[in-house]
Amino acid sequence: MDCESSQTIGIFQSAPASNAGLSDTPSEELDDHVTNDFSNLREADLESLGVRRASSLLVYNAKNAMSAARNSANRGQEHIWSSDMLVHHLNMLKSFASPDVAGAQLWIDAFFFRVKAMLDCTDNGLVLGLKQYLDVPVHRQMVLSGFVDYALFMGPKHLTEQYFPSSDLNLERNRNGRCLFIDEAESFGVPLKYYLPQTVGKMFAGMKAMEKDFIRGGLTDGGNWIFIILEADASGTGAVYHCTDEFPLFGSTDPDPYSSASLKPSLLKARCDVVAAVISGWVEKSHCKLDESEVFTYRACTGQE
């Protein structure tokens, strides 16, 4: 399936249900099945499901990033959630919100407000699902279940408008819908890589349920971001994921890394614009492979591993 013809199947619910997400799977195939919660997943569990990590990280393309940041800053300038407003708001949170998991949610929320402003000018509508429940059979005897922190759905406005006032993203079959998963790290101040298996597991469940060949997502603690793309493998049962290194919003503007200023990193507007550009761009291409024009690309832009 390519990114234009792939099909979206309803998988989102606001609360667990006994057979949620299992209706398309013959009951005899689910006898004696094991349900694994996303929060319990480790790298070894992914490997047992046929999901493996690519041998190299996605490459940060500085030239593309500079262009993306510039274009990002120019979008939605007339909106209250402009690029300048995002940075102003984050700087306020830096000295106001508690530096913990709860405080990090405020940082993440701000990026979605900014992305909404950036995409308001498109013909598509956006719906942000919070703490959406998934319960998806990924193999004959394995079901993955749990909550996705943020599920950003993009589709025709006549489709997205039907979700209100309901809080339920129970998607019916929709050939044009796209969905991006963003996960918040369960602990604050811990390297994000420790939570990659849980995030990748959620993306794998989403990819299986939506019958996609690609799905994009992210993992963050608010101030640091990892972006991930998961691709179905040749067997059709497993997948390979590529991810970025941690991308921090903070850095030093001083060229001397040993200066006193470098010990006090500042929130960098350009990096905030890059993250907003990636989120907005990735939801628009959420079920397509990366191309050479993007901020993060496959190594040397020569293709995938």
* Contact predicate 214/179, CB 8 Å: no
- pLDDT-derived band at 155 (thresholds 50, 70, 90) equals confident
**Tokens at 195, concatenated:** 């939570």
What is the SS3 assignment for 180? strand
Tell me, what's the pLDDT at 171? 44
Higher pLDDT, 22 or 175: 175
| Secondary structure (H, E, C), 2-45 | CCCCCCECCCCECCCCCCCCCCCCCHHHHCCCEEEEHHHCCHHH
Q: Which pLDDT tens digit goes with each residue over 70-124?
A: 999 999 999 999 999 999 999 999 999 999 999 999 999 999 999 999 998 888 8
Q: Tell me the average pLDDT of the chain.
A: 84
- pLDDT-derived band at 303 (thresholds 50, 70, 90) equals very low
Q: Please state, in angstroms and rounded to a whole number, the distance separating the CA atoms of residues 91 and 193.
A: 25
Give yes or no for residue 261 having a pLDDT over 60.
no
Q: Which pLDDT tens digit goes with each residue over 26-37?
A: 444 555 668 889
Whole-model pTM? 0.85
Give yes or no for residue 266 having a pLDDT over 60.
yes
* Contact predicate 251/224, CB 8 Å: no
Give the relative orientation of helices 83-94 and 269-284 as an angle to the nearest 10 degrees.
120
Cβ neighbour number for residue 305 with a 10 Å cutoff = 11
Tell me, what's the pLDDT at 62? 95
Give yes or no for residue 159 having a pLDDT over 80.
no
- pLDDT-derived band at 165 (thresholds 50, 70, 90) equals low
Distances (CA, A) of 155 to 82, 152, 202, 291: 23, 10, 21, 22
Q: What's the rounded mean pLDDT across residues 284-303? A: 84
Q: What's the rounded mean pLDDT across residues 285-289? A: 94
**Residue in this structure with the two tokens 């959630």, named with its chain if needed:** 81
Tell me, what's the pLDDT at 133? 87
* Contact predicate 227/29, CB 8 Å: no
Closest CA to 24 of 259, 208, 244: 208
Closest CA to 144 of 243, 20, 244, 6: 20
Average the pLDDT over each of 33-37, 233-237, 294-298 and give the range with the smallest value.
Answer: 33-37
Q: Please state, in angstroms and rounded to a whole number, the distance separating the CA atoms of residues 79 and 40.
A: 41
* Contact predicate 280/115, CB 8 Å: yes
**Residue in this structure with the two tokens 């079920």, named with its chain if needed:** 287
Tell me, what's the pLDDT at 236? 84
Domain borders along the chain are 45-252+268-301
78 Cβ contact partners less than 8 Å away, ≥ 6 residues apart:
none
- pLDDT-derived band at 59 (thresholds 50, 70, 90) equals very high
What's the half-sphere exposure (Cβ side, CA atoms, 13 Å) at 32? 0
